[in-house]
């Protein structure tokens, strides 16, 4: 393994040097080109301002030239950024089939002490193991939000001792935490969403950490989130944060395990006998803050254990918000701050399409709400066709509808995203998608299905208990 690693390292290092040289040559050429244009523009401007009969105020001319120089400078910077973006897009394609070890080696070789691994205390410990295997020095930082599980703190300590490293902890600003907790309490995120608390406890400390770096390494994987991580490349110009030089494009983000399945990460950790967070043995897959993370059941997606009271598409804490495209945010009915938007959703293929599932319009469900002496019970799913969890329960819901066909129990759906979302939140107890309601016979208020088990048997048990 060591010699294989050394061989990989050797070949990678020379590639890196070559690549870096090529890059500086490209940027140099561009910059030279821009400087040339700048100097000819300066000359042209100088000739114009001194022409007889025209304005010859030398102060005004100097100021105009300075303005022009600033514009040219700005343009040069923009061009350099374009080159940088294109450069890393090329590198991402080049490394698409590379191993995590190779990608890690490339990242550490290229950025040295100006890159650090972001470690959350979960299976992203694999990044630290890969870094160790490269034989290169590396830095690790972690966000201590103050709300982590005790097991995670003990695990940080274990990792420090195992690798003989010091994790660079980043803490939230005490004044900001105090203001948040004093005005809104300790659990405001259950009421108005996790974004505000995450901004104070995670995003701002992360922003501070990244301002001291030129690149960072994350454990993001495509298979981690149904809605937000499906397209992450192995390396990219960070779409959200700034690095040491400041400004958009000043930070590079490496995702060495982007293309690796979760089970392969676990095989790697087992093979290498890497210590893992004891929470994993209690059913936790994804690990974050204690109040916002819970174990998942076999078959449940790991992200269902995070911010489970919110929509699936909004489940990024802000650390990787750039993963969510504007288009996806629009479709999810969520704006850039994570708040619900009023935009309606068009052009998405509908789901729960069955002759046994009644499609309710807004007046239809309003009538159902008004009926106090209902003759037949109704089961209604409030859904959004783009929601992966709604899509995942489509089979069992349609099967249930077929079972109840002609039985007197009506099975229906109401599309509750976009313009209908505020109404559904106020009148229909919509928290996240899907929400399932049972309208009993002769009772006015619907009863919300409390579980996330959406198989036929669980739904049947719920209906049998209430009808």
Residues with a catalytic annotation lie at 387, 390
Nearer CB in complex with ligand SF4: 308/404: 308
Interacting span for ligand SF4 (CB under 6 A) from 105-113, 134-142, 192-200, 428-436? 192-200
Q: Which residue's CB is nearer to ligand SF4, number 110 or number 316?
A: 316
Q: How far is the CB of 299 from ligand SF4 (least distance, A)?
A: 24
202 binds ligand SF4 (CB under 6 A): yes
Q: Residue 436: beta bridge partners?
A: 381
| Contact between residue 130 and residue 256 where contact means Cβ atoms under 8 Å apart | yes
CB contact at 8 A, 437 and 449: yes
CA 218-224-227 angle, to 5 degrees, is: 110
Residue 8 near ligand SF4 by CB under 6 A: no
Binding to ligand SF4 by residue 291, rule CB under 6 A? yes
Q: How far is the CB of 206 from ligand SF4 (least distance, A)?
A: 11
Q: Does 398 bind ligand SF4 (CB under 6 A)?
A: no
Under the binding rule (CB under 6 A), the answer on residue 184 touching ligand SF4 is no
Stretch of 52-60, 68-76, 283-291, 458-466 lying at the interface with ligand SF4 (CB under 6 A): 283-291
Which residue in 106, 194, 321, 331 binds ligand SF4 (CB under 6 A)? 194
Choose one: 94-102, 194-202, 264-272, 458-466; the region binding ligand SF4 (CB under 6 A). 194-202
Min CB(297)–ligand SF4 separation in Å? 21
Phi-psi region of 159 (alpha: psi -120 to 50; beta: other; left: phi over 0): alpha
Smallest gap from Cβ 182 to ligand SF4, in A, equals: 15
Handedness of CA 215, 132, 166, 196 (dihedral sign): positive
By the rule CB under 6 A, 226 interacts with ligand SF4? no
Residue (of 325, 163, 140, 123) closest to 216 by Cα position: 140
- Decide if residue 321 touches ligand SF4 (CB under 6 A): no
Binder to ligand SF4 among 233, 243, 288, 338 (CB under 6 A)? 288
Nearest distance, CB of residue 38 and ligand SF4, angstroms: 47
Q: Is 180 in the site for ligand SF4 (CB under 6 A)?
A: no
Per rule CB under 6 A, is residue 221 in the interface with ligand SF4? Answer: no
Residue 319 makes contact with ligand SF4 by CB under 6 A: no
Please state the closest distance from residue 453 (CB atom) to ligand SF4, in A: 24
Give me the least distance between CB of 201 and ligand SF4, in Å please.
Answer: 4
Integer CA distances (angstroms), 274 to 117, 132, 213, 226, 268, in order:
17, 11, 27, 27, 9
Our finding on whether 197 is near ligand SF4 (CB under 6 A) is yes
H/E/C letters for each residue in the chain? Answer: CHHHHHHHHHHHHHHHHHHHHHHHHHHHHHHHHHHHHHHHHHHHHHHHHHCCCCCCCHHHHHHHHHHHHHHHHHHHHHHHHHHHHHHHHHHHHHCCCCCHHHHHHHHHHHHHHHEEEECCCCCCHHHHHHHHHHCCCCCEEEECCCCECHHHHHHHHHHHHHHCCCCEEECCCHHHHHHHHHHHCCCHHHHHCCHHHHHHHHHHHHHHHHCCCCEEECCCCHHHCCCCCCCCCCEEECCCCCCCCCCCCCCEEECCCCCCCHHHHHHHHHHCCCCCCHHHHHCCCCCCEHHHECCCCCCCCHHHHECCCCCHHHCCCCCCHHHCCHHHHHHHCECCCCCECCCCCCCCCCCCCCCCCEECCHHHHHHHHHCCCCCCCEEEEEECCCCHHHHHCHHHHHHHHHHHCCCCCEEEEEECCHHHHHHHHHHCCCCCCCEEEEECCCCCCCEECCCCCCCHHHHHHHHHHHC
Contact 200, 176 (CB under 8 A): yes
315 binds ligand SF4 (CB under 6 A): no
Which residue number places its CB atom closest to ligand SF4? 289
Does 317 contact ligand SF4 by CB under 6 A? yes
Q: Which is nearer to ligand SF4, 226 or 288 (CB)?
A: 288
Could you say whether residue 203 binds ligand SF4 (CB under 6 A)? no
Q: Smaller CB distance to ligand SF4: residue 26 or 188?
A: 188
- Does 320 participate in binding ligand SF4 (rule CB under 6 A)? no
Q: Does 122 help bind ligand SF4 (rule: CB under 6 A)?
A: no
Of 198, 237, 314, 409, the one binding ligand SF4 (CB under 6 A) is: 198
Write down the least CB distance from residue 307 to ligand SF4, Å.
7
Q: Which is nearer to ligand SF4, 59 or 174 (CB)?
A: 174
Which one of 198-206, 235-243, 320-328, 396-404 is the stretch in contact with ligand SF4 (CB under 6 A)? 198-206
Q: How far is the CB of 287 from ligand SF4 (least distance, A)?
A: 11
The region of 89-97, 176-184, 193-201, 425-433 touching ligand SF4 under the rule CB under 6 A is 193-201
Within 142-161, the residues that bind ligand SF4 by CB under 6 A are 145, 147
* Site residues for ligand SF4 per CB under 6 A: 145, 147, 189, 194, 197-198, 201-202, 288-289, 291-292, 317
């Amino acid at each position: 393994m060591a010699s294989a690693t050394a061989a990989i390292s050797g070949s990678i290092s020379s590639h890196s040097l070559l690549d870096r040289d090529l890059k500086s040559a490209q940027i140099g050429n561009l910059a030279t080109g821009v400087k040339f244009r700048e100097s000819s523009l300066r000359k042209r401007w100088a000739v114009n301002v001194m022409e007889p009969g025209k304005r010859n105020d030398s102060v005004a001319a100097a100021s105009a030239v300075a303005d022009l120089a600033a514009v040219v400078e700005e343009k040069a910077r923009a061009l350099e950024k374009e080159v940088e973006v294109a450069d890393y897009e090329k590198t991402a394609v080049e490394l698409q089939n590379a191993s995590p070890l190779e990608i890690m080696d490339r990242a550490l070789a290229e950025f040295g002490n100006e890159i650090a691994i972001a470690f959350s205390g979960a299976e992203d410990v694999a990044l630290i193991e890969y870094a160790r295997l490269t034989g290169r020095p590396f830095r690790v930082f972690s966000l201590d939000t103050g709300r982590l599980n005790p097991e995670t703190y003990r695990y940080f300590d274990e990792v420090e001792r195992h690798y003989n490293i010091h994790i660079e902890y980043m803490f939230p600003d005490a004044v900001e935490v105090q203001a948040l907790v004093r005005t809104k309490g300790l659990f405001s995120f259950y009421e108005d969403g996790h974004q505000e608390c995450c901004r104070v406890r995670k995003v701002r400390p992360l922003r501070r950490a990244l301002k001291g770096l030129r690149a960072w390494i994350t454990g993001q994987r495509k298979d981690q989130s149904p809605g937000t991580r499906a397209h992450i490349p192995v390396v990219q110009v960070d779409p959200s944060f700034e690095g040491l030089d400041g400004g958009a494009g000043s930070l590079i983000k490496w995702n060495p395990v982007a293309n690796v399945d979760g089970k392969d990460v676990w095989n790697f950790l087992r093979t290498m006998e890497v210590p893992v967070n004891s929470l994993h043995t209690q059913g936790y897959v994804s690990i974050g803050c204690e109040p916002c993370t819970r174990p998942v059941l076999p078959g449940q997606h790991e992200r269902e254990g995070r911010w489970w009271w919110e929509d699936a598409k909004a489940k990024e804490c802000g650390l990787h918000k750039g993963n969510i495209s504007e288009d996806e945010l629009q479709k999810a009915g969520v704006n850039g701050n994570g708040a619900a938007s009023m935009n309606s959703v068009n052009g998405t293929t509908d789901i729960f399409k069955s002759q046994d599932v009644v499609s309710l319009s807004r007046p239809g469900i309003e009538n159902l709400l008004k009926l106090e002496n209902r003759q037949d019970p109704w089961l209604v799913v409030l859904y959004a066709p783009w929601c992966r969890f709604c899509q995942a329960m489509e089979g069992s819901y349609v099967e249930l509808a077929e079972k109840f066909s002609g039985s007197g129990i009506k099975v229906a759906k109401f599309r509750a995203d976009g313009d209908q979302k505020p109404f559904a939140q106020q009148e229909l107890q919509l928290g996240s998608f899907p929400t399932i309601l049972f309208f009993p016979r002769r009772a006015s208020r619907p009863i919300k299905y409390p579980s996330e088990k959406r198989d036929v048997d669980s739904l049947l048990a719920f209906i049998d208990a209430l009808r």
